[in-house]
Amino acid sequence: MRGSVHSSPMAGEVRPLPRAFYERPTEVAAFELIGKILVLKQERVVLSGRIVETEAYLGADDPASHAWRGPTPRNRVMFGPAGFSYVYFTYGVHHCFNVVTEREGVPGAVLIRALEPLSGIGLMRERRGGGRKDETLTNGPAKLTQAFHITRAHSGCDLTREPFFIGEENSFVSRNGGASILTIRVSPRVGISRAKDKLFRYYDASSLCVSAHPKG
DNA sequence: CCGCGGATCTTCT
DNA sequence: GAAGATCCGCGGA
């Protein structure tokens, strides 16, 4: 790892966020997830990355959301309790990973769009194809699922416990002497055809791992 | 740097 | 039957 990504704690120092963290308005959860750490422990390797970009997808009032027209076999987990994963397959090629929000019965999810790789980087590079820079391993919603091998088999997982969870750095471990500042910016969501005006995308303004901005 | 098209399959109309 | 919460490689400026 070079200076291109933050030095950071290993996954053993990361504790899962409680379910209450996700039982909030989806936009709030999306905002609050910036800077948290995604961890997936598999076959002797701990994959982890710092979340630097998210998008909120709501329910009946959000035509860009899978939950817009009500529950279907695919999206039903979005209507369930918060803190569970929702993974879907799209374009015949890609998987996208979300975290369910809101109380049970109210649909909502946060799309995890980009990470800064923290651990398991060698395995990520193998899976993404050699010769890539660290900052291009997980800087897109389908890139990070490829690096982590997240598929529909990972949909419906409880993300408040091992081995697949989102956590927070142990506060005893300080970054930059505890002086780091997080600036979160807001923008329209990427790659949608409806509700383009909603400012439901959140990202770390200083991260090199945010997915490519659309023109403008 | 920018724009374009192909890949490839699930889901819902 | 069409669109899709995407990515990559190619060709041109």
> Is residue A89 within a helix (H) or strand (E), and if so which, with residue range?
strand A85-90
Q: Is A165 helix (H, G, I), strand (E, B) or coil?
A: strand
Per-residue model confidence (pLDDT) at position A4 = 46
The Cα A35–Cα A50 span in angstroms is 6
Cis peptide before A63 (omega within 30 of 0): no
> N- to C-terminal Cα distance for chain A?
31
Å separating the CA of residue A82 from the C1' of nucleotide B4: 40
Q: Is the C-beta atom of A193 closer than 7 angstroms to strand C?
A: yes
Q: Which nucleotide C1' is nearest A91 CA?
A: C4
The Cα A113–Cα A148 span in angstroms is 13
Q: b/e for A77-88, b at 16 or more Cβ within 10 A?
A: bbbbebbbbbbb
Å separating the CA of residue A43 from the C1' of nucleotide C12: 45
Per residue of chain A (216 residues), give pLDDT as tens.
443 454 455 545 899 999 999 999 999 999 999 999 999 999 899 999 999 999 999 999 999 999 999 999 999 999 999 999 999 999 999 999 999 999 999 999 999 999 999 999 999 999 998 778 999 999 999 999 999 999 999 999 999 999 999 999 876 555 555 567 899 999 999 999 999 999 999 999 999 999 976 544
Per-residue model confidence (pLDDT) at position A1 = 40
Per-residue model confidence (pLDDT) at position A170 = 77
Per-residue model confidence (pLDDT) at position A2 = 40
Per-residue model confidence (pLDDT) at position A129 = 86
Per-residue model confidence (pLDDT) at position A131 = 73
Residues 6+ apart with CB under 8 A from A3: none
Per-residue model confidence (pLDDT) at position A12 = 57
- Which residue gives the smallest C-alpha to C1' distance to B12? A72
Per-residue model confidence (pLDDT) at position A171 = 67
> Is residue A138 within a helix (H) or strand (E), and if so which, with residue range?
none
Per-residue model confidence (pLDDT) at position A49 = 98
Å separating the CA of residue A214 from the C1' of nucleotide B3: 12
CB A36 within 8 A of CB A167: yes
Å separating the CA of residue A93 from the C1' of nucleotide C1: 20
Cα within 13 Å of Cα(A173), Cβ side: 12
- Which residue gives the smallest C-alpha to C1' distance to B8? A92
Per-residue model confidence (pLDDT) at position A90 = 97
Per-residue model confidence (pLDDT) at position A3 = 39
The Cα A152–Cα A156 span in angstroms is 9
Question: What is the value of pTM for the model shown?
Answer: 0.92
The 8-class DSSP code of residue A50 comes to: E
